[in-house]
Amino acid sequence: MVANVLEINAERLWDTLEQSAEIGRFRDVGLRRLALSAEDKQMRDLFVEWAKAAGCTIEVDRLGNIFARRPGTDPSLPPVAIGSHLDTQICGGRYDGILGVLCGLEVVRTLNDRGLQTKRGIEVICWTNEEGARFNPPMMGSMAFAKVISLESVLATTDDAGITVEQALDEIGYAGAAPVGRIFDSYLELHIEQAPVLDREGCDVGIVVGGYKTQALRLTINGDTGHAGGTPMAQRRNALVGAGYVIAAVNDIGLAYAADEGRTTTTRIESFPNLAGTYAEQVKLTIDFRHIDADRFKAMRAEVDAAIVAAAKKANVEIEVSEGWSWGSELFAPECIELLKTTAKELGLPYREMRSQAGHDAYAVATLAPTAMIFTPCFEGISHNVNEAIELTRSVPGANLLLNAAVTRANR
C-alpha cells in the first residue's frame, strides 16, 4: 500500500461484528433481528454505546433512523454520510446490513486512532427497517427520510399483529426528535454483494454503478369460497388456484430471462379463509421482477401482465394489480463512482464495476445526495439465509476503500 493511505483495524472490525452477531441469534449461525423488535433495540443500544465511546454525538429522527456524527473542523459544511441497516430478515444472516454500519464505525475509530480531523463531519447512519421483513415496504426509513414516501404512511404501517411503526418506535424508545430529511455532502454504503459474482471471480471489491430495474406488484385475487367436497369443479372460483397459475407463470418468465440476468420472484402469499375444508375466496400475492436492461425489463413486464390476465381467465377469478416498490437502474452519482475508482487504484485494489440486484437504502438517499456503493464478497452469494458467510480478508479491501474515499470527500 502507498504510504499516505489509511488502513482500518481488521481485527477490531471482526471483533465488533462478532459481538453484533450475538444479538438475535437464530438457528446456530443466523440472526432474527426484526425491525423495531427487542433485539433491534438491543443492537441499536449497543451501536449507540460504541459510537458514543468513539466520540460521536447521536441523533435519532422520528422514524428511528440513527445518526452518529464525528464532527468536522468546519461545522457549516454538510457531512459525509456512511450507512446501512441493523435489522435482518426472519431467517437472516450475520452480515447483511450491519457490515456496512460497522465499517462506518470502523472509519470513525481509525480516524480517532490516528488523531485525524476532517473538514466535514462524518456521520454513520443506521436506517430503520431496511429489510421489510416485519413492516412493508422495505427501506422505509431511508425512503421517508428522502421523501420518496410519506412519513405519515410509514408511521401508520402495521405488522402482521396490527402493531404500527409508530407504536413499535415508542415501545423501544427510538422515536427521536431530529428532523426527517437533511442535506449530506455525499453518501457511501458498503454492503455484502448478496449475489455470487465477486466470490466466483475472486474479486474483493465491487464498485456499484447502479441497480437492476425492479418492480414489485401486489395482486389481490378475488374468487368466492365454498365447500371443498360439494362444489362442482366447474362452478368454483378458487382464488388460490388463480394464485397458483400466476406463481408458476411468473417463475417461467424468470427462467426464460435468466440467461441475460432477468429475475422473477413470488415473495409472499396470504390466503383467506385459509382453511382446510374450503377453497379460497381471496388471495393476496406479492411478486417482484428485475432486469439489468431497461428494454428487456419492459418486455418482462408485458409478459407478467399477460400472464396475470391469462391466470385470471383460466381460474375464473378477478385479479386487481397495484404497484409496490420500484427503483430504476441509473441511480448513483458519477462523481462518487469516480472517487471510488480513483481511490481503489491509489490503494492498489483490483475492483470490478457492477450493478446491484438487491434493493438498498442508498437508492433513496441517492435522490438527496451524490451516492455510491461498495460491494464485498459473500460466500456463493448466499444471503437472506442463516448460512450467509464472509471472509475478513476479503472484506477488508472494501472497508479500506470506504475509509479512504470518505476521508477524501470529507476534506473537500
Binding residues vs Zn ion (CB under 5 A): 96-97
* C-alpha to C-alpha distance for 289 and 243, rounded to whole angstroms: 16
Q: Give residue for cell 420472484.
A: 265
- The closest alpha carbon to 364, from 130, 135, 153, belongs to 130
For residue 143, CA distances in Å to 15, 69, 123, 174 come to 31, 21, 18, 18
**Closer residue to Zn ion in complex, CB, 72/97:** 97
**Closer residue to Zn ion in complex, CB, 96/281:** 96
Residues in contact with 192: Cβ distance below 8 Å, sequence separation at least 6, in sequence order: 95, 96, 99, 375, 376, 377, 378, 383, 388, 390
**Closer residue to Zn ion in complex, CB, 118/376:** 376
**In the complex, minimum distance from the CB of residue 43 to Zn ion, in angstroms, rounded to a whole number:** 14
The C-alpha cell that represents 380 in the structure block? 456463493
The C-alpha cell that represents 289 in the structure block? 421482477
**Closer residue to Zn ion in complex, CB, 356/404:** 356
**In the complex, minimum distance from the CB of residue 24 to Zn ion, in angstroms, rounded to a whole number:** 15
Q: Three-state SS for 338?
A: helix
**In the complex, minimum distance from the CB of residue 4 to Zn ion, in angstroms, rounded to a whole number:** 32
**In the complex, minimum distance from the CB of residue 176 to Zn ion, in angstroms, rounded to a whole number:** 22
The C-alpha cell that represents 237 in the structure block? 372460483
In the complex, which residue's CB is closest to Zn ion? 97
Residues in contact with 404: Cβ distance below 8 Å, sequence separation at least 6, in sequence order: 5, 6, 343, 346, 347
Phi first, then psi: what are they for 334, rounded to 5°? -50, -40
**Closer residue to Zn ion in complex, CB, 97/211:** 97
**In the complex, minimum distance from the CB of residue 35 to Zn ion, in angstroms, rounded to a whole number:** 12
The answer to whether 156 touches 340, Cβ cutoff 8 Å, is no
**Closer residue to Zn ion in complex, CB, 133/319:** 133
* C-alpha to C-alpha distance for 19 and 26, rounded to whole angstroms: 15
**In the complex, minimum distance from the CB of residue 287 to Zn ion, in angstroms, rounded to a whole number:** 21
**In the complex, minimum distance from the CB of residue 6 to Zn ion, in angstroms, rounded to a whole number:** 25
User: How many degrees, rounded to 5, is the angle at CA 181 between CA 176 and CA 185?
Assistant: 120
**Closer residue to Zn ion in complex, CB, 94/236:** 94
